[in-house]
Amino acid sequence: MKVYGATISPMVRKVLMALEIKGLDYQVEFVIPFNTPEGFEKISPLKKIPALVDGDVSLADSTVICEYLEDRYPETPLYPSDPVLKAKARWFEEYADTVLMKVTAEGLYFERVVKKLMGMETDEEKVQKNLKKNMPKTLDYMESVSPAEGFLVGDSLMMADIAIGSSFINAGYAGFEPDSSKYPNFAAYMQRIKAHPAFQVRMKEDAKFINKE
C-alpha cells in the first residue's frame, strides 16, 4: 500500500496509525496540498491529502480510508462493534475533521508552523482571535466528554482517540497546550494519548521532520 501525504498532517497521521496498529505494510509518497504531482487528481480528485492506493483500489479522505482499512483488514479493530459506541466514535472523528481542523489546524498550526516552513509570515492576530473566540468553546466540549480514565469509546485506543489526539498534538507543535487547572479531564486524557506507544512512534517521526526543517 502507498499513502500519499505529509506525515506530520493530522489527517495523514490518522491513516498511518491505522496501518501501523493493524500491522499492515505501507510506503509513504510525500505530497503537500500546495504542490501536488502531475496526475495526483486521479488518486485524489480534490487534490487533498491523504490518499491511499491498495492494489487496484484508490481512495481519498482520511475517514473513507480508515473505514476501508477497518472493513478490509478487521483484525485489531479501531472502531467499536457496538452500534451505539460506533456511532459515538464516528461523531468524534467527524468533530475532529471539521471543528478541530479549523480551530487547531487552520487557525493555529497552519499559521505558526506551516507558514513558517513555507517562508510566509504568521498572522498572529488571527491566531490570538482564534484562541480567544474558538478554542475555549472547543476545550469546554472536550472537557465534558473526556473520561476520567481510559479512552473515548472504550478501554483501548481507537480511531476516535486518534482523530482527536492528532489535532491537539499538532496544536502542541504550534505552542498550545490545554490548561490542566481549567480542563483537568481533557489535559489528563491528552497525556494518556501522548503516552500511548502508537502515538509515541508517530511523534518521534514528527520530531525528525520538525528538527530537519
The CATH number covering residue 99 comes to 1.20.1050.10
Yes or no: say if 12 and 190 are a contact pair by the CB < 8 Å rule.
no
The answer as to whether 57 is a domain residue is yes
Q: How far apart are CA 76 and CA 19, in angstroms?
A: 10
Residues 126 and 27 in one domain: no
> Which three cell numbers mark 75?
483484525
Q: How many CB atoms lie within 10 A of CB 55?
A: 6
The answer as to whether 77 is a domain residue is no
Residues 191 and 104 in one domain: yes
Q: How many CB atoms lie within 10 A of CB 56?
A: 5
Of 34, 49, 72, the last residue of a domain is 72
CA atoms within 13 A on the CB side of 145: 16
Q: Which residues of 37-52 are buried (b: 16+ CB within 10 A; e: fewer)?
A: eeebeebbeeebbbbb
Q: How far apart are CA 209 and CA 213, in angstroms?
A: 6
The answer as to whether 132 is a domain residue is yes
What phi, psi does 202 have (nearest 5°)? -65, -40
Residue 123's alpha-carbon distances to 8, 135, 208, in angstroms, are 21, 17, 26
Residue-by-residue pLDDT tens, the chain, 213 positions: 999 999 999 999 999 999 999 999 999 999 988 889 999 999 999 999 999 999 999 999 999 999 999 999 999 999 999 999 999 999 999 999 999 999 999 999 999 998 988 889 999 999 999 999 999 999 999 999 999 999 999 889 999 999 999 999 999 999 999 999 999 999 999 999 999 999 999 999 999 877 754
> What residues make up the domain containing 64?
2-72
Residues 60 and 109 in one domain: no
Distant-in-sequence, close-in-space partners of 117: CB < 8 Å, separation ≥ 6: 213
State the total domains in the chain. Answer: 2
The CATH number covering residue 33 comes to 3.40.30.10
Residues 44 and 106 in one domain: no
Residues 106 and 58 in one domain: no
Of 48, 72, 96, the last residue of a domain is 72
Residues 62 and 88 in one domain: no
The answer as to whether 78 is a domain residue is no
Residues 102 and 188 in one domain: yes
The answer as to whether 55 is a domain residue is yes
Residues 173 and 98 in one domain: yes
Please, what is the end-to-end C-alpha distance for the chain in angstroms?
Answer: 27
